[in-house]
Amino acid sequence: MSQVAYLTPGKREQTKLNNRLAILDAAREVFGDMGFEAATVRDIIRRTSLSVGAFYNYFRSKEEVYEALADDGARRFRPILHAQSAKATDFESYIRGAVRAYFDFLASENEAWMRAPRPPEAMPQTRNTPEILAVFEEVRAVLGNVIERGLAPKVDLDFLTASSIAVAREIGDRMMARRPVDVEAATEFVVRLILGGLPSLPRVEP
């Protein structure tokens, strides 16, 4: 009988958590060193002390690992985003603060990506997990409040939220592919793009 079989339920759950975190940490390094497309499940496993079978107890593919990384990032970024909403005084200050915070978070989370320049590559689409949906709802609530206070035009709130998040994601990916990584320039581009496009959007009925 294996050693794992003797673990108490509490220790067994902690072991499972540690194994999962080991896979995520290894995947973050591998994706940073090799890029997502070139990386394989075996590359990830080699950077852990786990067996192939153990890996597949947690994830079925590298795409699932990437999704878990995205979900974990969303969970840890949400309090940062919430803090920005508390400091914002108008639409521009919220957009600027939120986008800057996201890009700073992205750069900090992906220091491995800065070691060597790499052309931008297509990344897998992540599902709307609870954590990612929570980020969407956080942004939507703040933008809705800003609109209700008359600090921004009354436009389609769902579309505004989705487009703002999508622009930040795409520019963030391109920002990380450049050397040097210029958070300030990327932030200014997104802010100006959103603010410049907002006046031309169709208005919705109150």
Question: CA–CA separation, 38 vs 186, rounded Å?
Answer: 27
**Residue 133 falls within a domain, yes or no?**
yes
Predicted TM-score of the model (pTM): 0.78
The domain that holds 36 is classified in CATH as 1.10.10
Better-predicted residue by pLDDT, 185 or 37: 185
Q: Report the number of distinct structural domains present in the chain.
A: 2
Which tens digits make up the pLDDT trace of 119-172? 555 556 666 788 889 999 999 999 999 999 888 999 999 999 999 999 999 999
Question: CA–CA separation, 32 vs 144, rounded Å?
Answer: 36
Question: CA–CA separation, 156 vs 189, rounded Å?
Answer: 22
Task: Residue 77: name the closest of 112, 103, 111 by CA.
Answer: 103
For residues 102 and 125, membership in a common domain is answered with: yes
